[in-house]
Amino acid sequence: MVRFFTRPFAKRSRSAYRWFDERTGSTELVHKGLYEAVPEKGGWAYTLGSATLVLILLQLFTGIFLLLVYTPSFTEGWGTLNFLQTNDRFGAWVRGMHLWGAYVLILVIGLHMLRTFFSAAYKRPRELNWVTGALLFFLVIGLAITGAMLPMDQAAYWTLVVVTNIPHYVPGIGDGLRQLWRGSDFVGQQSLTRTFAIHIWVLPFLLFTLIGVHLYLLRRHGEFGSWVNYTPATADPEKELAERLRRAEPPYPTRRSERRWAVPRRTVEFFPTQLFKDTAVSLLFVTVIFVFGYIVGAPLSAQGNPATLTYVPTPEWFFLPLDQVLLLAPGTDLIFAGIALIGVASVLMIVLPFLDRSRERQPLRRPEVLLPGFFLIALLILLTVIGANRLWNL
């Protein structure tokens, strides 16, 4: 019955599609995207990468809407957002989704890094994937903290003051660095203008460039999946490897030198299995953001007042470990040491693939990498929880 009505259109739409396809090559593109070979095992674990991308796009999307209403003005900025919170329920919802999107994004990008770290997905030939990913992590943190400075309420103003003061502790050039960011010695209108520009253009530009590189590299070498894909399943690894090579579609490299670790045991097509898993996980996260964005929303404290005597500046939750480091000791030298320590740890994280060059992928056989990694992660989590009561200032 349905066919009776759609058949005349079906014929015409088929030819219309053919016209389009001849000119754009869209079918080939879609096929290349959808029917890529991905490893069978580890599917759920590596949905986190696509979830991160979805969340970043969500931030871009909600951010554009906020751009339509917000003015980066020291005096008027708060008013625009306050109007949103009090008069526009949907606007407040969008703002809430932007905030919770940021929080969930930081969580998910952390989980994504944890997964790739654990399954050794940064080993040859995917080192640059990790490097771009680590840089993306820092860009996301940068975006989160510059975003926190924009609403110009008490929380935002004092975050601006305290965070732009951190470069002050770098010996020698510290004051200069601080001035470069703030635009002057003290925080004023210029600081907000610069931070706004950084948040909506400079960092997103770098972010999307690196995402492009990251995705390109991913497609080039194929998804890694889980480390179990690369352990021999039969008693004759060489034969198994030859069989795997025969079955594997590109992009998994089949050059002789990389055979040993590049080809997963079994592959399936990206569409529909993996795409379904990716969508399910993204759905979960977006639902959380959707719900929390409305129920909890984004708080907006009183207008930023530099002359306050009662407001207690509070770090964002993802800056709590840094806050704990700053708490450690008085004295300029040790504070710089704390910041330098964080800098060193960050650099080590970025160059991890060049530190861990062994071919071993099984986690239990890489304790010299996993144990320090887990130690660091445990410290981060524990310091966040220890400092958490600061968030409520009770």
Partner 1 sequence: MSTPMSRRRFLVRLTNAGAAVITLMLSIPAIGFLVSPLFQKRTVSWVRVGDIDNVPIGLPTPFVVAMPIGQGPPGPPVNRIVYVVKTADSRLFAFSNTCTHMQCNVHWDPGLSQFLCPCHGGLYDLTGNNTGGPPPSPLPQWIHRTLVDPGTGHTILEVQNTFDESI
Partner 2 sequence: MLAAAPPLQPIPTSNVGGSIAVAIVALFHVQIATFLTGASFLIAVSEGISIARGDDRHERLAGGLLKAMAYVFTFGAALAIFWVLFVLLGMWGTFFIALTKITFWPFIFEAGLFLTEIVLLYTLYANWDRLRAYRRARFGLAILLAIALWWQQFFIDIVASYMLTPNGGDTNQLAQVLNPTDLPLTIHRTIGNIAWAGAIVAFVAALRYRRAKRRERDVRVEDIPLEHSVGAMSATWYTQADRARALRVAATNNVAFFDWAGTWGAIWAISLTALQPWIGYSFAKEVQLHAYPAWYRMMFGDISTVFLLQIFLLGVIFILGNLYFWRRMRASGTRGVRTQVLMLGFLVVATVLAAMPARFAWTYADMVAAHKTAAWWDGGWNNPIGTMIPNKVIALMVLMIAALVVVTSVVRAHSRGELRWGDATRRSQWLLLSLGVTVSLMMATMGVIREHSRQPFLIEGEITIQGQQILNPATQGQGVPSIGSTP
Q: Please report, as ranges, the residues that interact with partner 2 according to CB under 8 A.
A: 324, 327-331, 333-334, 337, 364-368, 371-372, 375, 378-379, 382-383, 385-389, 392, 394
- Please give the sequence-ordered ranges of beta strands (E in DSSP) within the chain, or none if there are none: 37-39, 267-269
Taking the complex as a whole, how short is the minimal distance between the CB of residue 64 and partner 2, in angstroms? 36
Taking the complex as a whole, how short is the minimal distance between the CB of residue 39 and partner 2, in angstroms? 21
Nearest to partner 1 of 77, 353 (CB atom): 77
Q: Are 202 and 78 in contact (CB under 8 A)?
A: no
Interacting partner of 364 out of partner 1, partner 2, none (Cβ under 5 to 8 A depending on kind) = partner 2
User: Using CA atoms, how far apart are residues 272 and 276, in angstroms rounded to an integer?
Assistant: 6
Determine if 189 is a binding residue for partner 1 (CB under 8 A). yes
User: Using CA atoms, how far apart are residues 271 and 279, in angstroms rounded to an integer?
Assistant: 11
Taking the complex as a whole, how short is the minimal distance between the CB of residue 370 and partner 2, in angstroms? 9
Site string for partner 1, 3-22 (x = CB under 8 A): --------------------
Taking the complex as a whole, how short is the minimal distance between the CB of residue 324 and partner 2, in angstroms? 6
Nearest to partner 2 of 202, 383 (CB atom): 383
Determine if 394 is a binding residue for partner 1 (CB under 8 A). no
Taking the complex as a whole, how short is the minimal distance between the CB of residue 340 and partner 1, in angstroms? 16
In sequence order, the 6+-apart residues with CB closer than 8 A to the CB of 63 are 98, 200
Let me know if 210 is exposed, middle or buried by CB neighbors in 10 A (0-12, 13-18, 19+). Answer: middle
Nearest to partner 1 of 53, 206 (CB atom): 206
Determine if 158 is a binding residue for partner 1 (CB under 8 A). yes
Q: Are 117 and 166 in contact (CB under 8 A)?
A: no
- Under rule CB under 8 A, which residues in 56-115 are in contact with partner 1? 74-75
In sequence order, the 6+-apart residues with CB closer than 8 A to the CB of 240 are 232, 233, 234, 265
In sequence order, the 6+-apart residues with CB closer than 8 A to the CB of 81 are 69, 70, 95, 151, 152, 153, 300
DSSP 39: E
Determine if 340 is a binding residue for partner 1 (CB under 8 A). no
Specify the length of the chain in residues: 394
Nearest to partner 2 of 10, 371 (CB atom): 371
Interacting partner of 176 out of partner 2, partner 1, none (Cβ under 5 to 8 A depending on kind) = partner 1
Of 71, 80, 85, 179, which lies in the binding site for partner 1, with binding defined by CB under 8 A? 179
Both tokens of 259, joined, read 């055979």
Question: ω into residue 272 within 30 of 0, thus cis?
Answer: yes
Which residues of this chain interact with partner 1, rule CB under 8 A? 74-75, 158, 161-162, 165-166, 176, 179-180, 182-190, 305-313, 326-332, 335
